[in-house]
Amino acid sequence: MSVNETQTVLVGQSRAQLREWAATTLGEPAYRGAQLAKWIYEKAAADFDAMTDLPAAMRTRLREVARVTPNTLSATQRSRDGAIKCLLRLADGNEVECVLLPYEERVSVCLSTQVGCAMGCRFCATAQGGYTRNLTAGEIIDQLLHLQRLSERRITHVALMGMGEPLLNLENALDALRLMHDEIGIGYRRMTISTVGIVPKIYALAERNLPITLAVSLHAPDNETRAQIMPVNRKWGVDTLIQAARDYFETTRRRITFEYLLLRGVNDTPEHAHQLASKLRGVPCLVNLIPFNYVPTPDGFQRPEAERVRRFRAILDAAGIETTQRVERGHDIDAACGQLRGKHLGKPIPLLTHAKG
């Protein structure tokens, strides 16, 4: 699909902005902009023909000067377990992926915030593709709208856990979440932002005092192990990161989720579990264990056996650390944690940076 760069992209604009645009650009009453917002965000309309309560002449004019979406759908895959993975092409030709994850009690989406990632986590093949650019707020929320059109149920939960480090695109990420809250009606308490541990940005997010859940990719309880698999740890060590998480809770009163990717023989021993329990004692948190989903990496990481996972969790449970194990979805379409793959400049790129999904 060719893109007319002279056209105004409407996804990413708030109701107030669309009201002003309708009045100043189209010469229509401002309430027509509010109608546009309702069609775009509440009904996930993809084209102007669907907006049947707008005058025909206005729809004709809209097709000339505007387009709804900044992204186009390139491919869709559906898992046997109900997960749906979409590959979206951006206006500049880059591509990102997003995933719909339906559960009995909710419908979640996992969205990307950057094209590529610069964080260099050793277990994540996205890092091997490098970093290209931040996504705009419109490009982020548009992923949700594409997924909503494919879902039989309303999307209820949002996780910024896809390609990229959300806190390095904090303003655009928050603008997208604000649109989801204000225009679609998804509560902040049903939103999660993940991070590999950009400590200054954790404090910047806390200053907004929004009831958003922070998911911290911890993946090791000691600096030596964590630095080997996550270069970010050389700048902000484990203790500094855990303190920032504690401070985030003190400001927002939102319990932290610590994501812990289990790599066989690397960070999954009983000693690691005891160290982790010691580090997190007294921190209001939930530990989410994620057995490694295989993707090719230079280090050849492997998934731990079920008994190793069970033993690791038992140690945390015995120490009073609330622990869950990630419900894994979309294995058959490479949409499980850490497995998403797109194509960027002809290279395969897995899109979930923090082994999330």
Catalytic residues: 97, 337
* The total number of residues written for the chain in this structure: 357
Reduced to 3 DSSP states, what percent helix, strand and coil does the chain have, rounded to the nearest 5?
40, 20, 40
276: which 2 tokens? 């982790």
> Residue 54 corresponds to which tokens in the numbers above?
């707008």
Contact 216, 241 (CB under 8 A): yes
Strands (E), the chain: 8-9, 66-67, 72-78, 84-89, 95-102, 107-110, 114-116, 131-134, 157-160, 191-195, 213-217, 256-262, 285-291, 323-325, 341-344, 347-350
Q: Which two tokens stand for residue 30?
A: 């401002």
- Rounded to whole angstroms, the Cα distance separating 44 from 145 reads 6
Distances (CA, A) of 72 to 84, 146, 181, 347: 16, 9, 23, 19
Q: Among candidates 184, 166, 163, which has minimal Cα distance to 44?
A: 184
Classify burial at 351, counting beta carbons within 10 Å of its beta carbon; exposed 0-12, middle 13-18, buried 19 or more: buried
Side-chain-side CA neighbours of residue 347 (13 Å)? 14
**CA geometry: angle 259, 185, 20, nearest 5 deg:** 120
